Chains A and B, each alone.
Chain A
Amino acid sequence: MRRSWCLLPWLLVAGLAGCSPEPGAAAGWSSAAPEVVAAALESPRHARFPDQVLLPWGDAAGEVGLWPGAPERPPAGPDCLTWAHDGGVWLNDPHNGRVVHLGPDGSWQGSLATPPAVEGLLGLPDGGLLLLGLANRRLIRLSAKGEVLEERGLHPAFRTIAGLAWGADGELRLVTGYQETYSLGHPGSPRRWPELLRTRQEGVAGVSGGRPVQVVLTDSTGTLLWYERTSTLPGKRPEPTAVPLAGTAGAASLRVLDADHAGRSLLLEERHAGEQVARRLRVFDGEGRDAGSLVLPEVGLYLPRTEFAAGPEGVLLQLRPLPDGLVLARYTWPEVQP
């Protein structure tokens, strides 16, 4: 009845008590070969993770679950992903109460049972995983074997939590809704409230190790704000370097997906098109010049909460829930090409 408590023994006496997985919630490791569909984009540098991987809807190994839409209730399914330590991917599968691990070649590696209401993931260097639960306001650290190693509460003062990220300093960072982050410390040695508040950093750094960056739209024209070291102390907040972005006039929104040391940035641009919204990936060089773009297909069955995950070496993964199943599409940048 209470699947959530199933994991508590792992936390409280880790390694001493187990938990029988619910039917359909795979706690053990299993394998099955997913269907790898034809490559849509060529990647000169990343031949490993396939360009597209299709996971059919279902609850077996090799599948992920979908709640079909119902009156007054949209469909829902996997809603976030993160890169794994091995070059593969972790994927949330809430319908089946698990997270799914795909290997670097896109193959099904297995799954781990999770507590309910997981809404964010972050892969850890030791092969483990950090789970973000917003309804219960929890961070839960799993080992690679699924043991709960650590559980931390999120302070109620954090209302707009966008997700988790690694900072360039190697610390976990909590990304909020204002394009800023707070350092959570290292796994196992967390920063505590209110110390956490002192770690605010303007801007969100890309996973490729770029500087913290924000984007603002003023009169529908975009500007990137690059930050160096930041401080929240009075009078110590540094001025960012502002870089106007060419060709953004009329944009409805801009979101930074990744940035690199060279000052290049990958953004998601939205434009209104009647009742619809047109989206494309855009790359800008360090001077804000247009360095490429790629029109994205229409949103599928639903829009995942974390649709994109930027990985090392300019790889970007996208979740696309389609009628046949969930597609993981890979893009690369800075050379985005249709």
Chain B
Amino acid sequence: MKTLPALLVLPALLLVPPAATGLTREEVMTTARGYAYHPWRATAANLDGGCPAGYTSYYTVGDHLGLPYDWGGYLTLHQFDAAIAAGKAAGSAPYTDVLACNVGLDCSGFVAQTWRQPQIGTYGIPDVSTEVRREDVQAGDAFNQVGYHVILYSHRQANGLPFLYEAMGYSVHPTFTQGWAYVSGYSPRRLHGIEGNDPAEPTGTADRPLEVDTFPFVTSGTTRGAPSDLLDYCGAAPATRELGPEVVYRLVLPTPGRLVVTVQDDAGVDIDVHLYSAFAEGSCLARHDTTLDLQVGCGTYLVVADTWTSADGTEFAGRYDLTIDFTPDPDQPCVPVTEFSFSGRPGAPCAFPGDYDLPFCNESLGATTCLYTGGEPDDVSFCSLTCTADRDCQAVIPGGCCGDIGEEDDYCFTPEFCAGEGEGEGAEGEGEGAEGEGEGAEGEGEGAEGEGEGAEGEGEGAEGEGEGAEGEGEGAEGEGEGAEGEGEGAEGEGEGAEGEGEGAEGEGEGAEGEGTEGEGEGTEGEGEGNADWICEPGNYTSCSCPGEQRGRQFCAADGQSWKACQCAAAEGEGEAAEGEGEGEDDTDRDRDGGCTLAAAGAPPAGLLPWALALLLLGRRARRRVAEPYA
């Protein structure tokens, strides 16, 4: 759909469509934001798309926001998503010719889409718009310079600078730092028939969805005139045409459960309900004409009431009644819905010497390091982060575990490296009095978290061997009596590695049970937050102890400093370890042992090659070259 050269020679009159009527400023701006912030994923195929030699996409493999810039490009979001899925190249190579192998939008293609015009070019803009005074521009107006560039105006910022949207350079994006000089010499234009003045920020859009905060949620609405008209097809039912405007609702589910969504509409109206995990057609999980009834995981969802469109193009927009109900099922584990995932999350594959086409780990999403098993293409890699216990990992990598690969810190592993292979009796949480069952609460009873024989650390004298390791005695986390780890011994003391000894997390008297964490003085979270926190009160991190042991270091209540490192009391031989006893496993994981890679120094034989081969990518590499900062 690229006809730029033709556009440049055709008389503009032939290209002029009828004047738009009934389009509101909210609709224009909603469409603009939809293009500027549209999530999409680039694969290796999208970097060349079979384009001629010399073409180079400026995008990298991974997830992105905003459609690419493409000279001569003009398409809908649906067309873009389909083209990317088909392996078309993303965007123009900077300032190359118009190509057929790539996709995106150019400046006039973008404005034409927001104005719901055919591909008219900057030459056609004057024919569908009227010039206005520069000082009078409103949201949805455009600054046009024939044969040169066109930019959509959004609003004036607090300091007077214009906030604009444009397709220019690399992508469709907001432009807000360059002032009015950026549009100096441009003609301010207003679309014929555009309705409204100084629009408020519309809701019910991808940008500002209507929040569902109670269940059952009962509401009424209308898609007629709804500002959002970006979703046209559902990935779960791709043949169904939902070409009309839509209204977007968002719900956040803390637990799995049963979700029931019903919609009723009047005669002559056909509103369908859709469930999305992100505002992209490929993220549409389910669709129905009247009722969605399905089990869902925890996470954030979008419920979209969209307008069905017949084959002849008739849109059946109008009023509807919507009910959303949710019955939680807290017994089920929280497996987050697969959201549109910006690449580089913990657990996701990452670029390594065997495959540089994989994305980088994304520190903004918590992944600091790429671990990989070797340098060959068949090897595996995943993004990871440092950890001190399995639970640190399970929050970000379902089923993951925390393990040692011989570096200073322990790292999170994906489930494939955690399963099975445990040897000992009483794997983590297997002993008596598993978490929540014992007499003492976490940290209150004897041997709270970790009392038993055998736990993390293999053999006697392994990590935290003495009595009262992790938080021994009063005054561990939260300072209270029996805060985490009051008991004798703690993390690490026992015989046998985690999963190997007679008991692991939660064994013994008083694993997490009565008495709650923070029962003592100085509870977690008591500190007052501050914008200048260097750490979050109550959080802890791993720290070095004498004898190459590891301890914990808690954040001070004011968040301004880390407390002194708490180390094992002695390199003695206490009887406890993280979880002692013979209780029942309190987790849903079905494994015989703990993290098989977690045992310090001696992973189970079955995974030894993996363990030895696992390499730390990124941090180690950086250490070689990082230079001190002044």
Nearest A residue to B533 via CB reads A198
Q: Does A246 contact B (CB under 8 A)?
A: no
Contacts of A8 in B (CB 8 A): 351, 356, 360
Q: Once the chains bind, are B366 and A193 in contact (CB under 8 Å)? A: yes
Q: Does B219 contact A (CB under 8 A)?
A: no
Of the listed residues B4, B158, B181, B342, the one surrounded by the most CB atoms of chain A closer than 10 A to its CB is B181
Q: Does A11 contact B (CB under 8 A)?
A: yes
Q: Which of B114-163 contact A (CB under 8 A)?
A: 121-122, 134-135, 147-149, 157-163
A259 nearest CB across to chain B (Å): 14
Q: Which of A267-312 contact B (CB under 8 A)?
A: 268, 270, 272, 275-277, 279, 298-299, 303, 305-307
Q: Once the chains bind, are A12 and B352 in contact (CB under 8 Å)? A: yes
Interface bits B52-64 vs A (CB < 8 Å: 1, else 0): 0101111110101
Q: Once the chains bind, are A2 and B56 in contact (CB under 8 Å)? A: yes
Nearest B residue to A125 via CB reads B630
Q: Does B215 contact A (CB under 8 A)?
A: no
Q: Once the chains bind, are B39 and A156 in contact (CB under 8 Å)? A: yes
Q: Once the chains bind, are A12 and B617 in contact (CB under 8 Å)? A: yes
Q: Once the chains bind, are A305 and B178 in contact (CB under 8 Å)? A: yes
Q: Does A338 contact B (CB under 8 A)?
A: no
Q: Once the chains bind, are B351 and A71 in contact (CB under 8 Å)? A: no
Q: Once the chains bind, are A14 and B365 in contact (CB under 8 Å)? A: no
Q: Once the chains bind, are A136 and B62 in contact (CB under 8 Å)? A: yes
Q: Which of B39-83 contact A (CB under 8 A)?
A: 39, 47-48, 53, 55-60, 62, 64-66, 68, 71-72
Q: Does A152 contact B (CB under 8 A)?
A: yes
Q: Does A336 contact B (CB under 8 A)?
A: no
* A3 vs B94: C-alpha distance when bound (angstroms): 13
Q: Once the chains bind, are A159 and B159 in contact (CB under 8 Å)? A: no
Please tell me which one of the listed residues A136, A216, A233 contacts residue B64 in the complex, with CB atoms under 8 A apart.
Answer: A136
Interface bits A58-70 vs B (CB < 8 Å: 1, else 0): 0000000001011
Please tell me which one of the listed residues B147, B357, B533, B628 contacts residue A5 in the complex, with CB atoms under 8 A apart.
Answer: B357
Q: Does A263 contact B (CB under 8 A)?
A: no
Contacts of A152 in B (CB 8 A): 362-364
Size of the chain B interface, CB-CB below 8 angstroms: 90
* A115 vs B170: C-alpha distance when bound (angstroms): 13
Contacts of A5 in B (CB 8 A): 60, 356-357
Q: Once the chains bind, are A14 and B58 in contact (CB under 8 Å)? A: no
Given contacts A1-B48, A5-B356, contact A153 B94 (CB under 8 A): no
Interface bits A183-201 vs B (CB < 8 Å: 1, else 0): 0001110101101101111
Q: Once the chains bind, are A2 and B174 in contact (CB under 8 Å)? A: no
A299 nearest CB across to chain B (Å): 5
Interface residues of chain A: helix, strand, loop or mixed (majority): loop
Interface bits A209-226 vs B (CB < 8 Å: 1, else 0): 000001111001010000
Q: Does A42 contact B (CB under 8 A)?
A: no
Q: Which of A31-39, A104-112, A142-150, A321-329 contacts B (4 or more CB under 8 A)?
A: A142-150
Q: Once the chains bind, are B182 and A303 in contact (CB under 8 Å)? A: yes
Q: Which of B160-217 contact A (CB under 8 A)?
A: 160-163, 168-171, 173-174, 176-182, 184-187
Given contacts A2-B56, A13-B353, A198-B531, contact A253 B176 (CB under 8 A): no
Nearest B residue to A186 via CB reads B629
Contacts of A150 in B (CB 8 A): 622, 626
* A268 vs B148: C-alpha distance when bound (angstroms): 26
Q: Once the chains bind, are B158 and A217 in contact (CB under 8 Å)? A: yes
A166 nearest CB across to chain B (Å): 12
Q: Which of A227-255 contact B (CB under 8 A)?
A: 229-233, 236, 251-255
Contacts of A229 in B (CB 8 A): 531-532
* A254 vs B157: C-alpha distance when bound (angstroms): 10
Contacts of B364 in A (CB 8 A): 152-155, 192-193, 196
Contacts of B528 in A (CB 8 A): 233
Q: Once the chains bind, are B360 and A11 in contact (CB under 8 Å)? A: yes
Q: Once the chains bind, are A72 and B108 in contact (CB under 8 Å)? A: yes
Contacts of B628 in A (CB 8 A): 126
Q: Once the chains bind, are B626 and A299 in contact (CB under 8 Å)? A: no
Q: Does B472 contact A (CB under 8 A)?
A: no
Interface bits B344-372 vs A (CB < 8 Å: 1, else 0): 10000001110011001011111010100
Q: Does A117 contact B (CB under 8 A)?
A: yes
Given contacts A126-B628, A188-B629, contact A12 B351 (CB under 8 A): yes
Contacts of B149 in A (CB 8 A): 72-74
Contacts of A298 in B (CB 8 A): 184
Contacts of B533 in A (CB 8 A): 195, 198
Given contacts A125-B630, A136-B59, A192-B364, contact A160 B532 (CB under 8 A): no
Given contacts A117-B170, A152-B363, A153-B364, contact A233 B624 (CB under 8 A): no
A302 nearest CB across to chain B (Å): 9
Contacts of B64 in A (CB 8 A): 135-137
Q: Does A41 contact B (CB under 8 A)?
A: no
B528 nearest CB across to chain A (Å): 8
Q: Does B618 contact A (CB under 8 A)?
A: yes
Q: Once the chains bind, are B4 and A149 in contact (CB under 8 Å)? A: no
Nearest A residue to B121 via CB reads A72
Q: Once the chains bind, are A155 and B365 in contact (CB under 8 Å)? A: yes
Q: Does A179 contact B (CB under 8 A)?
A: yes
Q: Does B625 contact A (CB under 8 A)?
A: yes
Q: Once the chains bind, are A71 and B147 in contact (CB under 8 Å)? A: yes
Contacts of A217 in B (CB 8 A): 158-160
* A323 vs B174: C-alpha distance when bound (angstroms): 28
Please tell me which one of the listed residues B177, B344, B531, B625 contacts residue A143 in the complex, with CB atoms under 8 A apart.
Answer: B625
Q: Once the chains bind, are B158 and A179 in contact (CB under 8 Å)? A: yes
Q: Does B86 contact A (CB under 8 A)?
A: no
Q: Once the chains bind, are A214 and B62 in contact (CB under 8 Å)? A: no
A–B Cβ pairs within 8 angstroms, 9 of them: A8-B360, A11-B621, A67-B95, A72-B107, A72-B108, A72-B122, A76-B169, A137-B65, A138-B360
Known: A155-B364, A253-B180. 15 other contacts (CB 8 A): A74-B149, A74-B168, A76-B169, A117-B58, A125-B629, A137-B65, A149-B627, A177-B176, A186-B629, A195-B536, A233-B530, A270-B181, A299-B181, A303-B178, A307-B178
Write the residues of chain B forming the contact surface with A, with a CB cutoff of 8 angstroms: 4, 8, 36-37, 39, 47-48, 53, 55-60, 62, 64-66, 68, 71-72, 94-95, 106-108, 121-122, 134-135, 147-149, 157-163, 168-171, 173-174, 176-182, 184-187, 342, 344, 351-353, 356-357, 360, 362-366, 368, 370, 528-533, 536, 617-618, 621-622, 624-630
Write the residues of chain A forming the contact surface with B, with a CB cutoff of 8 angstroms: 1-5, 8-9, 11-17, 67, 69-74, 76, 94-95, 115-117, 119, 124-126, 128, 134-138, 143, 147, 149-156, 159-160, 162-163, 177-179, 186-188, 190, 192-193, 195-196, 198-201, 214-217, 220, 222, 229-233, 236, 251-255, 268, 270, 272, 275-277, 279, 298-299, 303, 305-307
Task: Please name the 6 residue pairs, one residue from A and one from B, whose CB atoms are nearest each other, closest first.
Answer: A253-B160, A153-B362, A116-B58, A135-B170, A155-B364, A231-B531
